[in-house]
A and B are shown apart, each in its own frame.
Chain A
Amino acid sequence: MSGIPRPPYCSAKVHVPFLEAVRLALQTIWVQKLKSFFTLLGVMIGVTFLIAVVSIVGGMNRYMSDELVGKIMAINSFELRQRPSINIGDNSDEHRRELRRRPPIKEEDVPAVAAILPADVRWAAVGLGSLPAESRYQLKPKSVRVFTVTNDYFDIKRMSPVKGRLFSQQEYTHGGNSIVIGQDVATYYFAGLEPIGRELIVKGLPYVVVGVMEPQGSAFGQSFDQFIIAPHTSPLNRLVNLHGVINTMIIQSPSATGMTATMENVREVMRIRRHLRPNQKDNFELQTSESALAFWTKIKGYLVMAGVALPAIGLIVGAIVIMNIMLVAVAERTREIGIRKALGAKRRDIMSQFLVESATLSTVGAALGVATGFAFAKLIAALSPLPAAVELWSVVVGISIGAGVGIIAGVYPASRASRLDPIDALRQE
Chain B
Amino acid sequence: MSNQLDTLEAPLGVTAERQAVISAQGAAPDKDWVIVTRGIKREYDMGGEVVRALRGVDVAIQRNEYVAIMGPSGSGKSTFMNVIGCLDTPNAGEYWLNGLQVSKMSDDALARVRNKEIGFVFQTFNLLPRATALHNVELPLVYAGVGAEERKRRAKEALERVQLGARMDHRPNELSGGQRQRVAIARALVNNPSILLADEPTGNLDSTTSEEIMRVFENLADQGQTVIMVTHEPDIAAHARRIVVLRDGLVSSDDRRSSFIEKLGIPAPVL
B130 adjacent to chain A (CB < 8 Å): yes
A272 adjacent to chain B (CB < 8 Å): no
Residues in B whose Cβ lies below 8 Å from that of A345: 111, 143
B26 adjacent to chain A (CB < 8 Å): no
Residues in B whose Cβ lies below 8 Å from that of A24: 130
Bound together, the chains give a CA A335 to CA B126 distance in angstroms of 8
Query: Which chain B residue lies CB-closest to A422?
Result: B87
CB within 8 A of A346: which of B111, B122, B224? B111
Bound together, the chains give a CA A391 to CA B45 distance in angstroms of 61
A426 adjacent to chain B (CB < 8 Å): yes
Query: Which chain B residue lies CB-closest to A17?
Result: B142
> Are B139 and A340 closer than 8 Å at their CB atoms?
yes
Query: Which chain A residue lies CB-closest to B142?
Result: A17
Residues in A whose Cβ lies below 8 Å from that of B85: 342
Using known A-B contacts A4-B192, A15-B145, determine if residue A342 contacts B87 with beta carbons closer than 8 Å. Answer: yes
CB within 8 A of A344: which of B116, B127, B130? B116
Residues in A whose Cβ lies below 8 Å from that of B147: 15
CB within 8 A of B111: which of A336, A339, A344, A426? A344
Question: Chain A nearest CB: distance from B198 CB in Å?
Answer: 13
Chain B interface size, under 10 / 10 to 19 / 20 to 34 / 35 or more: 20 to 34
A11 adjacent to chain B (CB < 8 Å): yes
B218 adjacent to chain A (CB < 8 Å): no
> Are A347 and B116 closer than 8 Å at their CB atoms?
no
Residues in A whose Cβ lies below 8 Å from that of B122: 426
A85 adjacent to chain B (CB < 8 Å): no
Residues in A whose Cβ lies below 8 Å from that of B157: 2
Bound together, the chains give a CA A340 to CA B114 distance in angstroms of 11
> Are A339 and B126 closer than 8 Å at their CB atoms?
yes
> Are B144 and A11 closer than 8 Å at their CB atoms?
yes
> Are A20 and B142 closer than 8 Å at their CB atoms?
yes
CB within 8 A of A343: which of B88, B108, B187, B225? B187
Question: Chain A nearest CB: distance from B161 CB in Å?
Answer: 8
Residues in B whose Cβ lies below 8 Å from that of A9: 116
> Are A343 and B145 closer than 8 Å at their CB atoms?
no
Using known A-B contacts A7-B116, A422-B87, A423-B82, determine if residue A344 contacts B144 with beta carbons closer than 8 Å. Answer: yes
B205 adjacent to chain A (CB < 8 Å): no
CB within 8 A of A342: which of B120, B154, B191? B120
A13 adjacent to chain B (CB < 8 Å): yes
Query: Which chain B residue lies CB-closest to A24?
Result: B130
The 8 A CB mask of B223-265 against A (1 = contact, 0 = none) is 1110000000000000000000000000000000000000000
Residues in B whose Cβ lies below 8 Å from that of A341: 87, 111, 114
A1 adjacent to chain B (CB < 8 Å): yes
> Are A14 and B87 closer than 8 Å at their CB atoms?
no
Residues in B whose Cβ lies below 8 Å from that of A1: 192, 223-225
The 8 A CB mask of A1-36 against B (1 = contact, 0 = none) is 110101101110111010010001001000000000
Using known A-B contacts A1-B192, A1-B224, A7-B116, determine if residue A342 contacts B143 with beta carbons closer than 8 Å. Answer: no
> Are A346 and B112 closer than 8 Å at their CB atoms?
yes
B115 adjacent to chain A (CB < 8 Å): yes
Question: Chain B nearest CB: distance from A421 CB in Å?
Answer: 8
Bound together, the chains give a CA A15 to CA B138 distance in angstroms of 13
B51 adjacent to chain A (CB < 8 Å): no
Bound together, the chains give a CA A11 to CA B87 distance in angstroms of 20
* 14 residue pairs A–B, Cβ–Cβ below 8 Å: A1-B224, A2-B157, A4-B192, A13-B145, A15-B146, A27-B130, A340-B139, A340-B143, A342-B85, A344-B116, A344-B144, A346-B108, A346-B143, A348-B108
Q: Give me the interface of A with B, judged by CB distance under 8 Å.
A: 1-2, 4, 6-7, 9-11, 13-15, 17, 20, 24, 27, 335-336, 338-349, 422-423, 426
* Closest 6 pairs between A and B when the two form their complex, measured CB to CB: A344-B115, A344-B143, A15-B145, A346-B111, A346-B108, A14-B145
